[in-house]
Amino acid sequence: MRIRKKKWVAPYLANEKHYLIKDVLPDTKAYKAIYLELGMGMGDFILHSAQRNKDILYIGYEKEEVCVARAIMKFEEMGLKNVYVIHDDVKKLLKYFSKIVDRIYLQFSDPWPKKGHAKRRMTYKSFLDIYDQVLKDDGMIYFKTDNSAFFDFSIMSFLDHGYKMCDFSTDRHRVENDDVMTAYEKKFTDNGQPIYYAVFKKA
């Protein structure tokens, strides 16, 4: 997703006082768990999840500043307290986290379909090395995509990396569930496309 720069965004983020984590994490002790969405887009999954579960700390991680600013505006409007945002590239995750995250959500990440681009996929082994250091020892990864080839690639990547698969579906919404749906998930589901879903646990 290529997004145009907007003039208002940089000053808005420079003045943001609560939601944006610059380098040090806020006090996390008050929360039962930390859930992190990598590539949160406009933050709708984080917003609705945080409204539902006030005892969980949600952190949205996103490299596009326009998405970060738009998400923060929504969090402010709703007066949410249990949400923070990091504006950075996933490759820099270790700047912020060391074995404290309970769950990582990877939802509708770019599948990078060309073979030569496999290393860019967020489920490539070099990314899993990073997630190993971010997750607690019993941490989990929740993965969703609309792309079956990316799903197959990712399952093999997680299993080769020593993760156990605890749950999976090749049509997540065929049966009723209480998932908070991301923006992309709603779009694909409304178009009748199946959602591929899997949950992995560190061994």
Ligand X SMILES: C[S@@+](CC[C@H](N)C(=O)[O-])C[C@H]1O[C@@H](n2cnc3c(N)ncnc32)[C@H](O)[C@@H]1O
Alpha-carbon span 46 to 39, nearest angstrom? 11
- Work out whether 40 is an interface residue with ligand X (CB under 6 A): yes
CA terminus-to-terminus distance, the chain? 33
Among the options 23, 27, 44, 110, which is catalytic? 110
- x/- map, 176-195, ligand X, by CB under 6 A: ------xxxx----------
In the set 76, 89, 160, 167, which binds ligand X (CB under 6 A)? Answer: 89
- Work out whether 151 is an interface residue with ligand X (CB under 6 A): no
Min dist. Cβ of residue 172 to ligand X (A): 13
- Work out whether 49 is an interface residue with ligand X (CB under 6 A): no
Judge whether 110 counts as a catalytic residue. Answer: yes
Which residues face 164 on adjacent strands?
201
Question: Which residues in the 65-84 window bind ligand X by CB under 6 A?
Answer: 67
| Tokens representing residue 62 in the block | 């996103």
Alpha-carbon span 67 to 87, nearest angstrom? 9
Q: 109 vs 157, which CB is nearer to ligand X? A: 109
Q: Angle 44-52/65-78 helices, nearest 10 degrees?
A: 30
The CA-atom distances, in angstroms, between 192 and each of 8, 37, 142, 170, 176 are 37, 25, 22, 13, 15
Annotated catalytic residues are 110
Q: Could you list the residues that contact ligand X (CB under 6 A)?
A: 1, 39-41, 61-64, 67, 89-90, 107-110, 182-185
